[in-house]
Structure 1
Amino acid sequence: MAVPVDARTLAVEQMRLGDHAFAHYADDEARWGVLGVFAQLGLARGEKVVVLADPAVSDDEVFQRLFPHAGSSEAAREHGQLEFTSMRELIHPQRHFTAERQMGRLREETEQALADGYAGLRSVIDMAWVQDLEMDIEGVMHRELHAEALFTDRRYAEICTYDRRRFAPETVEAMRLGHPVALLEQPGQLGASHSEQGLRLVGEADWSTREQWSAAFRAALAGSGCDEPLTVDLTPLTFLSVTCAAEVLRQVNRSGSRERLEVHCTPFHADLFRRLGARQIEALVLVESEGATR
């Protein structure tokens, strides 16, 4: 099942405290990539990281998967900055999950992390716990759709990751739509979404994604008239190679005269476009912005 990319999709590197994100996987080997980046960035930013992984996987294996090169993460685990637990342990002594109990415990954990001197708390939650606790999916969906209070003060961040083999496609899609942020499935991917406003690209534009990058621009240029303004949002990109930037200018030149093409991008990427000759394209307007609009 293909999971759509839309205006809420981000790369995991762009997550910050206050974000509540949906992630997904359908491969036991690939499922650790996004979670590992999220956990590693949390430690690097001085946040406490709590991991509630698939209950069928041991804590030691989860640690090795998330931190394959170990290093300072071993010390973080020893000192309590990195913690492995489960939903069953989190809601103890209650035996049955309730949204109120879970959210209350996460608030307590956030307050304790701040009291211990951390910048905030981020948690990784594999939704395999739903089957482990024999929880009805309606109760889970209610919690996911009504958890705003955990995130409003921007001291807590959370990834809820869904195994597409465990959950029905309609449940996965409802959860994707219900989260304020949806993540690309893997680090290093490129996602493209087309709308009436234009084209939005998220993730990494490099040699491995260049064909997808080129095809997305061709479709956007072909789908808009030359007398209509076209907006291309590149602010969600985490990487833009020289080759891919040059491809943008090449396609714009080949598409013929155009009324206006706005490219929204970071100052760094705007400078790259100018160095490659963007000033010579009259219809091209670079709109500088610091990162994706949230």
Structure 2
Amino acid sequence: MFPVQDPRAALFGKHVNLAYSSDDDVREILTDFAQRAVTAGHRVVIFLDTDSAALAGQLATDVTGAAPGQCSLLRYGTSKSGSFGGALFGVADMLALLSRLAEDTLQAGWPAISVAGEMTWTDRPAWTPTDLFAYEHQVNRFFGDPRVTGLCLYDRRRFGKELLARIKAVHPGPLLAFTLGGWGAHLRLTGELDASNAESLPSILELVAGAETVVMLDASELSFVDAAGAGHIVRFAASRPHHHTVVRCGRGVRQALQLVGAESVPSLVLRDRVIAAAAS
């Protein structure tokens, strides 16, 4: 099942990777993911492989209560409606498609969109391992909107162990979530930043790297950061010597940053964390 207990937590600010080993596994995971989105009143879009007609039929039966247009199942390269991709379909095309889907979803009045991909559709000559890794790295920008969440599913029977490890490293969720917003270049991190997701941080920080202004990195709700994650933040600040990077954080995160050289970077400013007031 999807590895988050609170259904609402599964639907915000996440870019999650899971590997599976059987057809029953992928059906169960996708059904759970889609049902959570439908129940929350969000739109859900699932990308499937060309040969996944049976899975599409099962999901159409298993996911209940969807309003018209709320749950879409798209298969790769088919000639029928409800398809996506094709022979020349590349990384930029998929990123553009996701952006259009998000825009169309919000314009149609849905409050959020949950996207899942059965990634076997990438196992073809048009998508090399290099392309796939580049896609997973770049698509983090798409998930910077808190109204968007994603789940990438990889079949262990189709993808090599080494490639799966590289792909997993650039997925921040489920432990780490990030959102873009607020004044100026504002990036918010919540959860935990450890060996399982620290390699995703550079691509997340790239979302605000080009800002010609102060970058606010709000880590107030980041409960843990390891040395690798702290090092990424310090190096990011050092790479912008003419613009401040302000990090709001708690004591533990501050200590980790100091241990890896935060005090030697003039453009890095550490501030006390800000805790949101509890809802009444």
**TM norm structure 2:** 0.54
Gaps of 5+ in 1: 1-8, 184-194, 196-232, 234-288
Counterpart CA distance in 2 for 1:15 and 1:52 is: 18
Residue matched to 2:73: 84
- The structure-2 alpha-carbon separation of the partners of 1:66 and 1:163, relative to structure 1 and needing over 3 Å to count, comes to farther
**Structure 1 CA distance, aligned partners of 2:97 and 2:22?**
30
* In 2: Cα distance, 1:110 partner to 1:173 partner: 28
2:100 matched residue in structure 1: 108
State the structure with more CA Rg.
1
Which blocks of at least 5 consecutive residues in structure 2 are unaligned?
78-82, 176-193, 195-222, 224-274
- Identity over aligned pairs, percent: 22
Structure 1 distance, partners of 2:50, 2:15, is 22
Among residues 121, 146, 150, which one is paired with 1:154 in the alignment? 146
Contact preservation (8 Å) 1:42, 1:49: yes
Helix, strand or coil for the counterpart of 1:108? Answer: helix
Instruction: Give the Cα separation in 1 of the matches to 2:128 and 2:74.
Output: 21
Q: Cα gap change, 1:66/1:148 in structure 2, threshold over 3 Å: closer, same or farther? A: same
Q: Paired residue for 1:72?
A: 65
**1:21 alignment partner AA:** V
Per-residue CA shift, 1:138-170, capped at 9, x if unaligned?
101111012222122212211110000101100
Higher relative contact order (CA closer than 8 Å, sequence separation 6+): 1
Deviates further, 174-183 or 104-113: 174-183
Please say if residues 45 and 119 of structure 1, whose CA atoms lie closer than 8 Å, have aligned partners that are also in contact.
Answer: no
Look up the equivalent residue of 1:81 and give its one-letter code: Q
Measure how far apart 1:105 and its partner are: 1.2
Which residue of 50, 56, 62 maps to 1:55?
50
How many angstroms apart in 2 are the aligned matches of 1:122 and 1:87?
18
* SS of aligned partner of 1:46: coil
Q: What pairs up with 1:172-191 in 2 under 5 angstroms?
A: 172-182=164-174
Equivalent residues, number: 172
SS at match of 1:111: helix
Partner residue, 1:270: none
Structure-to-structure mapping, 1:87-166, within 5 angstroms: 87-88=76-77, 89-91=83-85, 95-132=87-124, 134-166=126-158
Partner-residue secondary structure (3-state), 1:31: helix
Tell me the SS of whatever aligns to 2:29: helix
2:11 aligns with: 16
2: CA distance between counterparts of 1:143 and 1:18?
18
The superposition leaves residues 8-50 of structure 1 with CA deviations (integer Å, 9 ceiling, x where unpaired) of x953743223211101101111222222111111111111111
